[in-house]
Amino acid sequence: MPALILSELWIYPIKSFAGIRVKQAVVKPKGLQYDRRWMLVDENGKFITQRENPHMAMFDLAIQNQQIVISARLTGKQVAIPLVAPEVKEVQNVVIWDDEVEAVEPDKNYSQWFSEQLNLKCRLVFFPEANKRDVDPHYASNNEQVGFADGFPILIIGQSSLNDLNSRMDEPIEMRRFRPNFVFTGGQPYEEDNWRNFNIGTNRFKVVKPCARCVLTTINPQTGQKGREPLFTLSKYRREGNKLLFGQNVIALNHNNQIREGDEITLE
């Protein structure tokens, strides 16, 4: 049986914006280091995503010199923000799904830049590592935390699962539609559905629940246009109740270890 190999490693520094593929990453208590620690909120402090604003797909992100460089494709404008925001005394409450958490707005100029590019009054806020946001206690092993990810710190998908999905559709789609942190090769389609504990390098992880997919997956990351796929095809064979499942949510059982693309994945 072919080995299971971590083939892609992704972080999403700003929630609902494009991901950045990295060669290595440090596993932190809230997920991978730098993953979804920034987020846009509206005037009421509520989180903003591509679900309501698909134009957010039209930005490219890169890491350079400990900064996140954001490039707006439609205007050609750029801004650079730090990977980790400087300490700010003034905190504000923001809402992400059913959670209200404390965040900081380190620089109103960043907020103004995003407001102008999106033609939407918004603020760019940061979630300090010390702040708390619990994962769903029904799935927690040890009071695990999460940053600005929807509900869990890590998402894993097998390349074989995407290959199987694409074989059922008229036009293939890229893995980035599903915004995973870990992609692996080897194994059968959807075998991650049956995993529990696994290891990447020296770090242990636990699969806690399937990931229910939403309309965000139907947004073409190149054009920002919505379609009906992949949800239309997933609805034919990956439905459980009223949810369409693809990928698995994961928590880390230990932290501060580095994992790398090419690491072998071993199951417990």
CB of 152 closer than 8 Å to CB of 249: yes
H helix and E strand count, the chain: 3, 19
> What is the structure's pLDDT at 96?
98
> What is the structure's pLDDT at 161?
98
Q: How far apart are CA 252 and CA 266, in angstroms?
A: 14
> What is the structure's pLDDT at 2?
84
> What is the structure's pLDDT at 18?
98
CB of 168 closer than 8 Å to CB of 216: no
> What is the structure's pLDDT at 215?
96
Task: Give the residue ranges of the chain where pLDDT is below 50.
Answer: none
The amino acid at 148: F
3-state secondary structure of 58: helix
**Helix locations, 134-262, DSSP H:** 159-167, 231-237
Beta bridge partners of 249: 155, 209
Domains of the chain: residue spans and CATH: 4-267 (2.40.33.20)
> What is the structure's pLDDT at 89?
85
> What is the structure's pLDDT at 213?
98
Q: How far apart are CA 197 and CA 267, in angstroms?
A: 6
